[in-house]
Amino acid sequence: MKKMRKIFAVLLTLAMVLAMSIPTFAAEVTEPVTSYSSKITVTGLSSQEEETVNLYAAITLNVDKNEWIVADWAKDYIGLSTDGKKYEITNAEGLAKAVPETIAPFQQKHVVGETQVEFSEVPVGAYVVTASGNKITYSPMVAETYNDVATYMQAKNVTLVAKSSGYDVKKEAADGFVKRGEEVTFTITTTFPSFTVADSEDNTFKIIDTPTGLDIQEITSVKIGDTSLKANEGYTTNKADDGKYTIEFTKNTIGTSNTNAGKKVEVQYKAIVTSEEGYTNTANTSRNETEMGKTEVKGYTGTITLTKYAEDGKTILKGAEFKLYKATKDKVKEENSGVSALRFIKLGDGIYKLALADNEATSTDTLVAVNGTLTVKGLDEGTYWFEETKAPEGYSINVDGASATIKESKDKNVTVPTSLKDTKLSALPSTGGIGTTIFTIAGCLIMVTAAGLFFASRKRTNK
């Protein structure tokens, strides 16, 4: 009997070493049963996708001979300790990779929306547990399904918390082709992580948003699963001087038992587009100051370039002035149309960007083509009309103006060219038949006749 107990002690030590050597985090719940089967529950799986969970038997119990059996594929990575008293894993990473594909595991599919799977009627032993999906791979885990403190062999139920080295982070913008000054809603979606030491006071989980060309205004919603969190209770925010925005989940949300591990995290916020060149927005998640996932979303804008020509379509005219409307000419000219000219900030001679607001300092609605060309930036999709309000010296205003249409693009900024011709004042076309020429000749004849009669009358008077 003493010899048998020694054998059990060695084998139990082997299983304990195996469980401690493979990278994992296991929170065990012991529920002794009288049979040689148990239940293994794997929690902390991402609710964002379907995942596969496998159990591979590394050590099993031969009930007839009352002895432990080490799987052939595991033997190269398990050996006796130097004192010959216990087994130890000599290569944990190799053991995790050594599981052959030809072995049929206990397998279950983890469905979208859930965070755990459960295996029942699992034979007593020690198992390598793997979990993976299309976007997330978890560290291998080990489950010991026996009670090593019981006097006799006794199975127990085990709960493991899956731990990933990273999670998928998804970011979406309500509008990807924007104008300067536009308010855009962004949504960040990720997975709440698990923690190796669930009750550690040092556990942290953050979402860090780094905007370029954006000014984040406010957080409108933060959810974990279906639960909405309140600011300062479930999370805190910090906006740095450079615009970087950090959302940090509080100790109340993190908890002490990985309750939220694997649940969907969704954050929504509003931001103002500040750049005429579009925006780039990067979001990453951090668990205990280690990056867990990263994503980037971009937005684009439109530009219109207008060139002012003489009648020949080649000679560039300088100094014309314009107003720009986001509407057609007919709409602008409608009575009580309510369409106002857009306002801009001057960047250089003939170069302007759309103002953030009508009252932005130094904004103007007068655009001057100093060198004969005009560039306006920071516009979104739509039809625009340039109204010429001042023609170059010696030329008449072209009342037709110039139109341009910007079409949305999902992967680049867009530049649309347009042009406008003016006519010289001295070359205005005559209208109304023979025009004014006959009146000019008649007038001259009348004046000559009047002068002749005047001088003839004076000559007679002098006589």
| Predicted pLDDT at 108 | 85
Contact call for residues 219 and 268 (beta carbons, < 8 A):
yes
Contact call for residues 278 and 301 (beta carbons, < 8 A):
yes
Average pLDDT over residues 274-294: 94
What's 302-426's CATH class?
A: mainly beta
What are the residue boundaries of the structural domains of the chain, listed by start? Answer: 2-161, 170-299, 302-426
Q: Are strands 351-354 and 373-379 parallel, antiparallel or unpaired?
A: parallel
Amino acid found at 373: T
- The answer on pLDDT for 126 being more than 70 is yes
Sequence-separated (6 or more) residues with CB below 8 Å from residue 113: 47
Average pLDDT over residues 290-295: 91
Contact call for residues 346 and 364 (beta carbons, < 8 A):
yes
Of 320, 296, 324, nearest to 179 (Cα)? 324
Is-same-fold flag (2-161; 170-299)?
Answer: yes
Q: State which fold the 170-299 domain adopts.
A: Immunoglobulin-like (2.60.40)
Residue 192 DSSP class: P
- The answer on pLDDT for 251 being more than 80 is yes
| Predicted pLDDT at 433 | 45
Q: Which of 41-45, 113-117, 389-393 has the highest mean pLDDT?
A: 389-393
What's 2-161's CATH class?
A: mainly beta
Residues composing the chain: 463
Radius of gyration of the chain measured on its C-alpha atoms: 40
Say what percent of the chain tops pLDDT 70.
Answer: 80
Comparing 296 with 149, the larger pLDDT belongs to: 296
| Predicted pLDDT at 80 | 62
| Predicted pLDDT at 115 | 87
DSSP-assigned beta bridge partners for residue 161: 43
Comparing 110 with 252, the larger pLDDT belongs to: 252
| Predicted pLDDT at 17 | 38
Residue with tokens 């925005």: 245
Q: What is the pLDDT of residues 8-24, one digit of tens each?
A: 444 444 444 344 333 43
The token pair at 386 is 């340039």
Give dist(CA 32, CA 249) in Å, integer: 37
Strand order in the sheet with 205-212: 235-239, 245-249, 205-212, 279-287, 290-299
Q: What is the pLDDT of residues 299-320, one digit of tens each?
A: 999 999 999 999 999 999 999 9
The token pair at 416 is 């649309």
DSSP-assigned beta bridge partners for residue 117: 42
Q: How many CA atoms lie within 13 A of 46 on its CB side?
A: 25
The vertex-130 CA angle with 47 and 112, nearest 5°, equals 15
Task: Kindly report the pTM of this predicted structure.
Answer: 0.73
Average pLDDT over residues 176-200: 94
